[in-house]
Amino acid sequence: MADDKFDAIVVGAGPAGSACAYTLAKEGRNVLLLERGNSAGAKNVSGGRLYTYALELLEPGMYQRAPLQRKIVREQIMLLDEQCATTIDHFNPGFGENVPQSYSVVRAALDEWFAGEVESAGGTVGSGVLVDGVLEENGKIVGIVSGGEEMRADVVVAADGVNSLLGQKAGLFPDVTAHAVGVGVKETIELPDSTISARFAVKDDEGAARVAIGCTDGISGGAFLYTNKGSISLGIVFNPEQAAKQKRHIQDIFQDFKMHPAIQALIEGGTSVEYGAHLVPEVGYHGIHKRLYREGMLVVGDAAQFGINTGVIIRGMDLAIVSGLAAARAILNSKSAAETGPLYMKQLEELLLLANERAYQNFHKIFEISRIFSGYPQLMNEAMDFLFRVDGKVPTPMLKGLLGVAKKHASFGQMLADGWKAYRSL
Amino acid sequence: MTIKRLSPEELLALDKFSVDEGNPHIIVDKTICARCVERGCLVACPARCYREKDGQVNFEYAGCLECGTCRVICKEKGVTEWRYPGATFGVTFRCS
């Protein structure tokens, strides 16, 4: 059996798994990367933005080979009510200079490329392979089982995504709870590149990323829009607990959003080409699984529940890549199997992944303020209506008018309480 | 083409599925669902695989997007088994 044994088996060819396998393969390790989809990316859905620093950490300049979409130079925040929309648009060409800060991505293309990089570096990629469970001997993980076949390795890296059945089977953590995740739905809409560039006022290699609130029927959550090459990714992420407690189907709420006049104008003339759904780690630092390793196994990426969501910054893929790199470095530097896990945790610190998570550790509590999702977006739009409306009648004095609008949506006490809660979360 | 509100069927028709006939990857125990009051699956499953008919929860795995929402929100544990479809089966995303 010794001949068949791999140095490492990585389960899941998303950014975490491929980053890990790539680094190991480059260092000459005998690594097997397994993917249940017919090709890498075939099972993956993401909003669609990758922060470039992560690929730079993996290998400087690597991003130039990657099938990235548009470099994001417009960051937009949109507040919606039923008819109106108020959008903050931050144009920042600096985000596109040197190594651009972030790119929109399409996972089918990105993940397939990434797995190809693993192969070019000398790794073995097995697509269309579903891993059923782990192989355990003498209290250690010694491989995996797939379709009744055993495959052995010094270490198994679970990069099997947010649901991580593998980590659960290895007894590392319980199933994810509804509290810890968001449920995302997304439509990909094709449009000519020139149309996208014109509508978002960007050059053909530049793009916009937008988050929107006030479009979730009051459910904690928000929408996203990313401009790609020749397509737009449009979706909403909902808190599943709250979604389950109300009466409207999340698909209907999503379609309402898509047909909102301010959104429809951006996608008009386009063709819907795909509909996807995925869970997203939502809690951040406190949502990370408490155990990320045992002897013979490491957990990386979404499987570990790495994620950061500040409402305007939504990170997952970058953390996945960094954690994959951390796992690979731990494996490369480890002198004994028992040492690998603790080394992995050390690498997560050294690569600043955990420091990034900790910096936002209480941030998710801000999303408990229900008026962010229904109340304040409406308030903002009514306030704008008041500020901009001219009809020849005697205008209400400015302060009185604005206070009147505010009072309709939240009492002074409520606003104070929400402000305090937000302050405490920041 | 023009943008329009898409029905649940139209949304799923955009995707490519290879259904493992007769071999569901998610098992739902209707007798457990019968005593569930919340039935969050009816509104939160992004693929609308769960539908109510004559007061019963019906489950159809063919259009499953493999997200895991039903498993995590299921209050009464009526989703008794949840795994991924066998190799080569299930949904294939091409441009997400």
Report all structural domains of chain B as residue ranges with CATH numbers, in order of start.
15-92 (3.30.70.20)
In this structure, are residues A20 and A9 in contact, taking their beta carbons and an 8 Å threshold? no
pLDDT band at B2 (very low <50, low <70, confident <90, very high): confident
With bands split at pLDDT 50, 70 and 90, how would you rate the model's confidence at A2? very low
Shortest distance, CA A176 to any CA of chain B (angstroms): 7
pLDDT, average across residues A62-86:
98
The predicted structure's pLDDT at residue A1: 43
Residues A177-192 have a mean pLDDT of: 97
Contacts of A229 (CB under 8 A, 6+ apart): A69, A70, A193
What are the structural domain ranges in chain A? 2-69+105-173+289-361, 179-281, 365-425
- Residues A229 and A196: their CA atoms lie apart, in Å, by 8
For A179-281, CATH number out of 3.30.465.10, 3.30.9.90, 2.30.42.10, 3.40.190.10 equals 3.30.9.90
The alpha carbon dihedral of A50, A54, A59, A60 has a sign of positive
Alpha-carbon distance of A35 to B51, in angstroms, equals 31
Q: How many percent of chain B have pLDDT more than 90?
A: 95
Angle at which helices A15-26 and A317-333 cross, to 10°? 30
CB-neighbour burial class of residue B14 (10 A; exposed 0-12, middle 13-18, buried 19+)? middle
Task: Region of A138 please: left (phi>0), alpha (psi -120 to 50) or beta.
Answer: left
Q: Which residues pair with A183 in a beta bridge?
A: A238, A279
- Across the range A244-269, mean pLDDT stands at 97
Mean pLDDT for A242-258 is 97
Task: Answer whether B76 touches A (CB < 8 Å).
Answer: no
The pLDDT assigned to A373 comes to 96
Q: What is the mean pLDDT of residues A276-305?
A: 98
What residue in B sits closest to A130 (Cα-Cα)?
B87
Residue A40 pLDDT class (50, 70, 90 cuts): very high
Size of interface A-B (CB pairs under 8 A): 150
Q: What architecture (CATH level 2) is domain A2-69+105-173+289-361?
A: 3-Layer(bba) Sandwich (3.50)
Q: What is the CA radius of gyration of chain B?
A: 14
- pLDDT value of residue A3: 57
- Per the prediction, chain A carries an average pLDDT of 96
Q: Which pLDDT does position A426 carry in this prediction? A: 83
Interface of B with A in 6-65 (CB under 8 A): 6, 8, 11-12, 14-15, 38, 40-44, 46-48, 65
On whether the pTM is more than 0.95, the answer is: yes
* Coil, strand or helix at A203: coil
Average pLDDT over residues A335-343: 96
